[in-house]
């Protein structure tokens, strides 16, 4: 029979999670309030935007930091280290993208952004490392089927590139993005396409791992898929197809989902790291069917 008395380590884990959840709820509520009511526009619109950027930067840093900390629970020779370290590198590139946003906003405060910036490079590198990390994860799960998995991986990349091309052509034929260079529209559409594919892979891992805590850090990618899809639709001019009320609600929902992507992954990294603190790394990482709580 299991003891009804929680271990000190388990109690500390629950305390960490409880405080992190409280902080996440407060941060999300503050973000929604600032985004919707724009209280700092009394100073300037720029200040209000920077407050929102800071509120977004906080969970992005948390996700990258706790992701890196999770990877360090494993030895470098172990497959899980390669999975989580690669995943954390992707998050750090996205943190870099968020920080570059501050730089570009300051430089182009009174003018328009260039169509392509270093921010796009950092987003792209983040997607690259996320994709490699997912490949490593599925490779570990499907041990003995590496060749087939490699073919599927490159096939999915090819499909994503082709789908983005088709959607770009559709956007121009529909009169969207008419004043923007074709390559810029293509890259912008590629983001939600990659989000969708990686979000689908994250859902697959969710069903494979069940309630396993090592399957949860991927869930944030699903929120980004939703957020980016709505954002790109608006950016291409889709807001002209819906009512102002619907636009306001969808815009708020998209921005909150974007923030939630960082929060979900950060909390999942924290939970997984706390669980591994009380276990030895080799024992903690079993097959998906054994990774449940």
CB contact at 8 A, 227 and 255: yes
* 209-250 pLDDT tens trace: 655 667 788 888 888 888 888 887 787 777 778 888 888 999
CA 55, CA 28: separation in Å to the nearest integer?
A: 8
pLDDT at 6: 43
Question: DSSP character for 113?
Answer: P
b/e 73-100 (16+ beta carbons within 10 angstroms → b): bbeeebebbbbbbbbbbbbbbbbbbbeb
29-33, 140-144, 252-256, range with the lowest pLDDT: 140-144
* 68-109 pLDDT tens trace: 999 998 898 888 899 999 999 999 999 999 999 999 999 988
**pTM of the full structure:** 0.84
In the block, tokens 């994503």 appear at 160
12 pLDDT band, cuts 50/70/90, is low
Q: Which of 177, 159, 156 is nearest to 168 (CA)?
A: 177
The set of residues, in sequence order, having a beta carbon less than 8 Å from that of 231 and lying 6+ positions away, is 192, 254, 258
Mean of the pLDDT values across residues 177-200?
Answer: 82
């Amino acid at each position: 029979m299991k003891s009804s008395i929680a271990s000190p380590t388990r109690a500390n884990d629950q305390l960490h999670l409880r405080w992190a959840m409280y902080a996440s709820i407060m941060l999300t509520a503050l973000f929604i309030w600032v985004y919707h009511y724009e209280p700092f526009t009394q100073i300037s619109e720029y200040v209000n935007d920077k407050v929102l950027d800071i509120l977004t930067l906080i969970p992005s840093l948390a996700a990258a930091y706790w992701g890196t900390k999770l990877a360090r629970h494993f030895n470098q020779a172990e497959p899980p280290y390669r999975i989580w370290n690669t995943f954390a590198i992707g998050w750090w590139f996205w943190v870099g993208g968020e920080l570059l946003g501050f730089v570009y906003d300051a430089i182009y405060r009174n003018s328009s952004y260039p169509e392509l910036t270093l921010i796009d490079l950092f987003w792209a590198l983040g997607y690259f490392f996320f994709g490699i990390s997912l490949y490593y994860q599925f490779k570990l799960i499907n041990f003995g089927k590496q060749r087939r998995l490699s073919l599927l991986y490159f096939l999915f990349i090819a499909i994503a590139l082709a789908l983005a091309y088709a959607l770009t052509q559709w956007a121009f034929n529909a009169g969207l993005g008419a004043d923007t260079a074709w390559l810029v529209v293509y890259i912008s559409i590629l983001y939600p396409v990659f989000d969708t594919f990686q979000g689908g892979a994250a859902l697959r891992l969710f069903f494979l791992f069940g309630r396993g805590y090592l399957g949860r850090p991927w869930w944030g990618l699903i929120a980004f898929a939703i957020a980016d899809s709505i954002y790109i639709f608006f950016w291409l001019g889709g807001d002209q197809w819906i009512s102002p009320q619907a636009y306001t609600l969808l815009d708020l929902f998209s921005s909150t989902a974007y923030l939630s992507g960082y929060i979900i992954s950060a909390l999942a990294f924290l939970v997984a790291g706390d669980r591994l603190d009380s276990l030895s790394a080799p024992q903690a990482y079993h097959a998906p069917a054994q990774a449940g709580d």
